[in-house]
Structure formats: C-alpha cells, structure tokens
Structure 1
Amino acid sequence: MRPRALIVDDEAPARAELRYLLEEVGGVQVVGEATNGEEALLLLRSLDYDLVLLDVRMPGGSGLDVARALRDLPRRPQVVFTTAYPDHAVDAFDLAAADYLVKPFDAERLRRALERALAHAEPASGEAPSAGSPGPWDDGPAHVPPSPADVEPLVRIPVTKDARTVLVDGAAIVYASAARGYSYLKLADERLLVTFSLNELERRLRGHFFRTHRSYLVNLDHVRELGPDFQGSLVLVMDDRQRSRVEVSRRHARELRRRLGL
C-alpha cells in the first residue's frame, strides 16, 4: 500500500502544484488536503497518515503549531515543510521535521525529501520494521578516516541565512553535529543549519577535521582542552564562545590522540 499523504496549505494554487509534483514523483497517495492548521489537525486525528506536507504561515495556527501538536498523536506522521519562508528552518528541525523545502522547488528536490521522510516513517499498525532498518538518528555506516594522501584543501560550505546564501569557510567551523540527515555548523558565536548530512560534510571537510562520534565532526584546530566526562569517556572542550563540549566515542579516542600528537 502506498504511503498516505496530507497536503496543508492555505493557497489553492500551491496545493495544486504540490499535488502535481507528487504525481510526477510517484509512490505517494494524497488522501487529504487542508487549508489551515485547524483543518489539518482534525484530519490528522481522524486518520493515520504517513506523511504531512505542511506550509508554515497559515490562518488558524501555523505549520509549526501543527507539528508540535503531532507529538501527541499515537502514530506520528513524518513532516515535510513546504514554504516560501526560509527563516523557520531551525525551528522546524527542532520539531523533528524530516525536511524543509523552500518554494519554488522541483520534483527531484521533492523526491529526495520524500525518501528521507519515508525512510524514518513508523510502520503502519500491525507491521513490523524490517530487520536492520535504520532508526531516526542512524547516520549510516561508520566512515574510515581519510588517509593523509587523500587530504584536500578546505572548501566553503553554502548556508541559507536570512534568504541569502552565505559561504562559510571551513576554517571557521568549530565543529558540526548531526540533525536527521542535515547538520548544524557551530562557529565561534553562532550555529547554522545546512542541508548536508554529517557524512557529506566529512567528505567535503577533510584536512584538520576528525569524526569524533557518529554525531560530531570536529575541527582539530579549534580544540582547546581534552578531559574526561563523569563516565570517564573523553570529551573535547572547543574554543568557541560557549566553550562547547564534544563527545568522543571510545572507538575513535585512540586515533584522535594520535592525530593530536598525544
């Protein structure tokens, strides 16, 4: 049975365009439309949906309000935000959104969003997840650190900020952390959301970057201190303004010490 989707948008042309793109991508059955947050919650509480394509700014409650309310449902559908406003992305991912699409987007971008969302969808009632299926925080198989021969110069990472694309120099990144297929870049005094997974950033940011944990990629140039946490594991204290603490997994600790010359 194809996954069931609900489209939520207060503008009829936007709903029609999204339905058209979903038909072009295929694999999803649109079984409902709502024009505001109140209608969306009514439909979501009356039928199990696998996926909600949700606008942000609507009458009757924002899309963010709808996403918050979904946490109380017995079976929470995956949420993909579809909006003309890029400035709510951080709030959306804090609410465990699967993706955040900024209009206009094409069928290929929508397809990637659906793949990401449905990979983490809860099985329908009575169905068991397939053996070995990834959990919502699975970051894929562990990557072997690149050898010195493979090291390439640092690149700049594009970041959407205030409706602009800003290029962040790799040397300015203190560390990166995983966020459901996306990542946060921690700079000296701010945190930015990027559309790259941590694995993708690891491939781009080589040189002095090191994967300390499945959820962290650290710029070794910004390590200020090393120390144990209360469980005896290794923790890095970074040189950003907040003196962030970054976890080091036991299987990466020895290689990290070698890289730092300890």
Structure 2
Amino acid sequence: MRPRALIVDDEAPARAELRFLLEELGQVQVVGEAANGEEALLLLRSLPYDLVLLDIRMPGGSGLEVAAALRDLPNPPRVIFTTAYPDHAVEAFDLAAADYLVKPFDAARLARALERALEHADDAASPSAAPSSGGPARRGEEPEPLARVPVQRDGRTVLVDQSAIVYASAARGYSSLKLADERLLVTFSLNELERRLRGHFFRVHRSYLVNLDHVRELVPDFKGALVLVMNDRQRSRVEVSRRQARELRRRLGV
C-alpha cells in the first residue's frame, strides 16, 4: 500500500497542481486536502498520514505552527514544506522537515523530495521504488553524478560548481555547503552528496564531506586526532574521525 499523503495549501490551484504531480509520480496516495492550518490539524488528528505537503503562510495557523504541533502525535508524518517563500528554510529544518520546496518546482524536484521523505518508511513505502531526480530508481542503480549542485536562493535556483565546494556539513536532516566566503543550505543529505559528488571528495567524519583540493593544513589536536584547516576565507577547521585518518593521509600522500 502506498504511503498516505495530505496536501495543505490555502490556494486551490496550488493544491490541484501538487495533486496532479503526485499522481503522475505515483509514489504516494493523496487522501486529503486542507486549505488552512486549522483544517490540517483536524485531519491529521483524525486519520493517520505518512506524509504532509505543507504550505507555510496560510490562515488558521502557519505551516511552521502545524509542523510544530505534529510533534505531539504518537506517529507524526514526515513533512515536506511547499512554499513560495525561501526565507523560512532554517526554521523548517529545525522542525525536522524532510525537505523544503520553493515554488515553482517541477516533478523531478518533487520526486527527490519524496525520496528523502520516505527513505526511512516501512517496506510498504520503501524508497527502492521511489523516483530520483532523473526518473524511477531501480535497486542497485548508481545515482547520477552532480557536476553542479542546485541551491535555492531568493526564489531562484543557483547551480554551484562542485569544484567551488570547500566542504559540506550535515545538520538536522539537511546539509550546508561551505564555499570560499559563504555558506549555502541544500536539500541533499550528506549521504546523497557523498554518493553523487565526484572528484576529490572524501568523508572525513560522519558530519563532514571534504573537497581534498581545498585542504590547506593537517593539524594534530591535543588528543592526537587530526583537524583539517581549509583554504576558505575563514580558514575553517574540520574534524577528522580517527577511523578515517589513515585513509585520509594515504589519499593526501602524507
């Protein structure tokens, strides 16, 4: 049985478009719609849902308030925010959102969000059947490499060349990219970035994926572990796990 989804948006055309995209993808079953936060909470407390696609600015309680209230449910659904406003992303991920989509988005972007949201679901909603950004995923299929990483900024999608990434770090279900002089929020998990970034990227720690081309120094800390000093403007310091230290030295030839 496909996971049960609820669409929450105060604009009827937006709900209809999202329902159409979800039905085309076929990964979830849309079993409810709500036009405001109050209706959404009533439905969510009455029926079990696996996934909520949630607008943020609505009458009757914002999407952020609805997501916060879901924490009180015994089995809260996963949340994907679908909004025209990119400025609430950090708040959304603090509420453990699976993804944050800025309108207008297409089927490929929605497919990737569904894959992220359902990756920890039961076998009935196994991500092995979920589509990736390039189409339906097959068991054992290698994900497509990312030459450039899409980043949402001010309602636009900016493509960041992977060579510009100094390192990526994980935090609360999303990742951030550290560039030479800025940090950008991305919707890929660190595991996804590790699988899909090519070149000299190496997972030095469970929370850090480093571009070895941007390593400036290796510094032992007082415990005997390694810390990397990167060549960004801030000379960021990245911790290396003991388990990865030997392989890192080998890759760097030191």
* TM-score, normalized by the shorter chain, greater than 0.5: yes
The code of the aligned residue for 1:227 comes to P
User: Is the contact between residue 225 and residue 238 of structure 1 (CA under 8 Å) also seen in structure 2?
Assistant: no
In structure 1, the partner of 2:165 is 173
The code of the aligned residue for 2:245 comes to A
- Residues 168 and 111 from structure 1, CA distance in 2 versus in 1: closer, same or farther, beyond 3 angstroms? closer
Q: Tell me the distance in 2 between the aligned counterparts of 1:34 and 1:159.
A: 29
For residues 99-143 of structure 1, give each alpha carbon's deviation from its aligned partner in whole angstroms, at most 9, with x where no partner exists: 22222334443333223212223x5xxx9999xxxxxxxxxx9xx
3-state SS of 2:72 partner? coil
- Greater displacement, 181-190 / 233-242: 233-242
User: Is the contact between residue 182 and residue 197 of structure 1 (CA under 8 Å) also seen in structure 2?
Assistant: yes
- Greater displacement, 179-188 / 36-45: 179-188
The code of the aligned residue for 1:226 comes to V
Q: Please show how residues 150-169 of structure 1 align to structure 2 within 5 Å.
A: 157-169=149-161
In structure 2, the partner of 1:44 is 44
In structure 2, the partner of 1:192 is 184
Q: Tell me the distance in 2 between the aligned counterparts of 1:44 and 1:228.
A: 50
Q: Tell me the distance in 1 between the aligned counterparts of 2:176 and 2:43.
A: 33
1:98 Cα deviation from its structure 2 partner:
1.4
User: Is the counterpart of residue 204 in structure 1 residue 197 in structure 2?
Assistant: yes
In structure 2, the partner of 1:254 is 246
Q: Tell me the distance in 1 between the aligned counterparts of 2:167 and 2:71.
A: 30
In structure 2, the partner of 1:62 is 62
Instruction: Give identity over the alignment, percent.
Output: 80
Q: Tell me the distance in 1 between the aligned counterparts of 2:20 and 2:125.
A: 30
Q: Please show how residues 1-262 of structure 1 align to structure 2 within 5 Å.
A: 1-121=1-121, 157-178=149-170, 182-199=174-191, 201-202=193-194, 203-207=196-200, 209-220=201-212, 221-228=214-221, 233-238=225-230, 240=232, 244-262=236-254
3-state SS of 1:185 partner? strand
User: Is the contact between residue 225 and residue 240 of structure 2 (CA under 8 Å) also seen in structure 1?
Assistant: yes
For residues 161-198 of structure 1, give each alpha carbon's deviation from its aligned partner in whole angstroms, at most 9, with x where no partner exists: 11234344545433102357753102344321224443
Number of matched residues?
Answer: 235
Q: Which segments of 5 or more consecutive residues in structure 1 lack a partner in the other structure?
A: 131-140, 142-153
